[in-house]
A = this chain, B = another copy of it.
Amino acid sequence: MKAIQLRNPDDARSLELVDTDTPQLREGEVLVKVHAAGVNRADLLQARGHYPPPPGASEIIGLECAGVIVDPGTTGRREGEEVACLLSGGAYAEFVAVPEGQLMPIPEGYSMTEAAAVVEVACTVWSNLGMLAGLRAGQTVLIHGGAGGIGTFAIQLCKQLGATVAVTAGSAEKLETCRELGADILVNYREEDFAEVLKGRCDVILDIIGAKYLRQNLRALNEDGQLIIIGLQGGVKTEINLGALLPRRLSIRGTTLRARSTEGKAEVVASTIENVWPLLADSRVTHHIHATFPLAEAAAAHELLDSGEVTGKLVLEA
């Protein structure tokens, strides 16, 4: 089959479509012909050699796709069934092997491209804000990077949960997109200190920055506030004042979807289908696609995402 690989392991831009082996199915996996694959920030890291796939996962880049089952293996699935897939890797290819628990239906009314744009963001946002944080109506949530792939989806989902939504982003245009998606409180992090604006008001923070924002995030939290860190774009190491946690009963938690076990991913996928898919079916929450590229032009897609000019998601098409 064809798949995207690095021609030169030291050059993250040298992504090329090359011939490689079609994946072998393991027990409980189906083979999917990929029609569309979403691009994630983690893919840029992996191309740079910074985010190696978990043990046993495909070495090929790509954490989500939509396509058609061409070999159901030992599962009871049907050949020809259209599916969206949460992956530990392997989406930037013609075929990918997928554990049955990571298959999702194509959301009602969605194209393959649209489906590939929502799998990773839906599972990430729901597992963190719904399953873990238990975000409730009337609470205030802060979403850093509101105009990103995660952010554009999180804003809409949090509004559906009845929360007041605050976001940060780096430009007025991006903040305007956030407002259109439903965000209530807009902070341009290049001009304002979000901790000053939101001091003591946030019940939950979905953070993609890490070290650089830790102190400010803790300041922004309300009593019983939860900081959930899913990205470390602002570094991993910093000083912490644990004394800040106790009187307000704050919590700090970090998670990665990719590192979860097959069972853990299946649990997230099942809960996301149950709780989020109905919201997609009647467009209460929608995909937000910035641009699409042919799979062969993965390098160009990565370059665009890296530029910081993207609002929402990029998708590669077969």
Contact = CB atoms under 8 A, between A and B. Distances in A.
Nearest to A128: B249
Contacts of A255: 245-246, 249
Interface string A203-217: 000000011001000
Given A232-B242, A237-B242, 9 more contacts: A210-B242, A214-B240, A236-B242, A237-B240, A237-B241, A238-B239, A249-B260, A250-B254, A251-B252
B242 A246 contact: no
A127 B260 CA distance: 29
Closest 5 A-B residue pairs measured CB to CB?
Answer: A245-B254, A251-B253, A236-B243, A246-B254, A247-B259
A230 interface: yes
Contact of A253 (B230, B252, B260): B252
Given A252-B252, A253-B252, A259 B241 contact: no
Interface residues of A, number: 29
27 contacts: A210-B242, A210-B243, A214-B240, A229-B242, A229-B246, A232-B242, A232-B246, A236-B241, A237-B240, A237-B241, A237-B242, A238-B239, A238-B240, A239-B240, A240-B240, A244-B254, A245-B254, A245-B255, A246-B254, A246-B255, A246-B256, A248-B259, A249-B254, A250-B253, A250-B254, A251-B254, A252-B253
A266 to B, nearest CB: 16
A232 B242 CA distance: 8
Nearest to A259: B247
B242 A259 contact: no
